[in-house]
Chains A and B, each alone.
Chain A
Amino acid sequence: MESDRPLDPEEERPAAQPPPAAPSPTPRDPGACSLLEWADGSSSAARPPTDARRPSAPGLGPGLASLLPPDADDDEDVDGEAESGEVGRDTVRVAPRAGETAEAAGVDKAAAAGEVDEANEVDEANQAGAPRSAPRVSTVLGPLPATVRAGQTRDLNDVVHRILIIGLLLSTVLLLIGLLLDLLTGQALPAATLPPADAFQRVLELRPSGFLSLGLLVLLFTPVVRVIGSIVVFLWERDWLYFGVTVFVFMVMLLSVILGRV
């Protein structure tokens, strides 16, 4: 990975980032916005103030903003953001940029200290003219803890974040298509799910039962893909401890897939 690495950073990216397999949800799509907004509010007793603190950007969930590609000039979108939200979100958003530049320069990422990466990152963001008040690393991260280097965690969070959103949107769309097809043809909903192969087959035949089963399967396997994504990130970062942890979790999930069949 050190010497024979291709110089083109584009070729390297898929390993560190989630493959943009599904057409990544368009950031300004209103449907995506609302989907995120409710997520914002669900299952949390602890976060009532977030809504109130985003008065002039009502449509844009903070999670959504970090979906934007790192190069996108989304300054306008964040104008109404509260200061703190901006800081946190910006750090998430610029994370991939640091990886890119480090790799393009042929820097070995494993050798580069997280803090150095961080500093580059902020500089890059400034040069690109992105956030006006690009936060200094020290103010955002404070004393970097020995066990968890913040740069790593942010790459990881970015991957997890994208996988969850893509999986959720894809499954919702599939379920809605299945439901609509079912209602249009005047059938009752199927009372049994299909094995994955059959579900695929019936989707190709545009049969509602296929869409419903596939939608449920995509929903069900989104967390599995999330674990696979984490494994790839830890492998990339040569974090063997957490590589082992996530591989173990993945094995347990595989075990339950097998147990479900028996």
Chain B
Amino acid sequence: MITLVLIFVMGLCVGLLGSMLGIGGGVLIIPLLTLLFGVDIKTAIGASIISVIATSSAAGAVYVGHGMTHTRLGMVLEIATTLGAVAGGITAVLLPARYLYGIFGLVLLYVVYSLRGLAGSEGGSQPTGLLDTSFIDPLTGGQVNYGVRRLKAGLAASFVAGNISGLLGIGGGIIKVPIMTLVMGMPFKAAIATSNFMIGVTAATSAVIYYGRGYILPDVAVPTALGVLAGAQIGPRLGGRARSGTLRLIFQVLLFAFAVQMLWKAIAR
């Protein structure tokens, strides 16, 4: 009962922080559940993947309603993400826990690195004749026309993102969004929305494996998911999105500490 409430509060904090920083909760949920609550890492991955599906469905509904999601591109890339997710999900179920700790630690280090500045990296997007589409930018009210470049590179990155997602129970947007903006030439907002659109299907693909294999435990997954949902609802109301460097720096330090601890768990024993 007390654990239940504590896990819910943990989810609440993750949802708060995640929505303020614009990042999925998985990178926080898994270290917190394993290091703080002593939950088995595969159970933590199962709880995280459930929360990822919930937040992705909720945010996805809003993005799609805005017309900001490139649904067709998303569906093409989902071919790669779901294949990656199946491979990742099966691997995670079979792999000894210490390897998962090790891989998670390394991915966390990458996330710390990539958090330096994602939003500033938008190049000039323009129609390319491949999957051209458009959306209305809510900030300027103007219309943005754009197409896609280097679809093959996008497919490859999507496979990796899906694989990491299935393996570690995180969304994988942190891998897809930079590729979609920098390599495929998509506008940042469209990339975020489209990446989020794919995350639901990708996460569900590996989640059914976790469910079938008994790694989704209601007493961990339900309070986590409900907490994250509630936290993400409150987050944006607390004085807007704190995008100041301070919050991001705290977040980076936190993730770095988690990365070191996870890597330690992989090496020690």
Residues of chain A touching chain B, judged by Cβ–Cβ distance below 8 Å, are 34-51, 53, 61-67, 82-85, 87-89, 91-92, 140-143, 145-148, 150, 153-154, 156-157, 160-161, 164-165, 167-168, 171-172, 175-176, 178-179, 188-193, 209, 212-213, 215-217, 219-224, 226-227, 230, 242, 245-246, 248-249, 252-253, 255-257, 259-261
Expressed in whole angstroms, the Cα–Cα distance for A223 and B55 within the complex equals: 12
Cβ of A40 and Cβ of B217 under 8 Å apart?
no
A147 with B130: in contact, given A41-B19, A260-B213 (CB under 8 Å)?
yes
Cβ of A84 and Cβ of B138 under 8 Å apart?
yes
Residues of chain B touching chain A, judged by Cβ–Cβ distance below 8 Å, are 1, 4, 15, 18-19, 21-24, 50, 53-62, 64-67, 69, 71-72, 75-76, 78-79, 82-83, 85-86, 89-90, 118-119, 127, 129-143, 145, 147, 171, 173, 188-189, 192, 196, 200-201, 203-214, 216-219, 221-223, 225-226, 229, 232-236, 240-241, 243
- Nearest-neighbour CB distance to chain A for B126, whole angstroms, equals 12
B-side contacts of A260, CB under 8 Å: 89, 208-213
B-side contacts of A43, CB under 8 Å: 18-19, 22-24, 55-56, 59, 171, 173, 192, 196, 232
Select A193's contact among B67, B75, B216, beta carbons within 8 Å.
Answer: B216
Select B65's contact among A41, A49, A89, beta carbons within 8 Å.
Answer: A89
Cβ of A220 and Cβ of B211 under 8 Å apart?
yes
Cβ of A252 and Cβ of B83 under 8 Å apart?
yes
B-side contacts of A44, CB under 8 Å: 22, 59, 192, 196
Q: Name the CB-closest residue of B to A164.
A: B61
B-side contacts of A84, CB under 8 Å: 136-138, 140-142
Q: Tell me the dominant secondary structure on chain A's binding face.
A: helix
Q: Which of A141, A176, A256 has the most CB of B within 10 A?
A: A256
Cβ of A37 and Cβ of B219 under 8 Å apart?
no
A223 with B62: in contact, given A42-B18, A82-B141 (CB under 8 Å)?
no
Cβ of A88 and Cβ of B66 under 8 Å apart?
yes
Select A256's contact among B18, B23, B55, B208, beta carbons within 8 Å.
Answer: B208
- Nearest-neighbour CB distance to chain A for B221, whole angstroms, equals 6
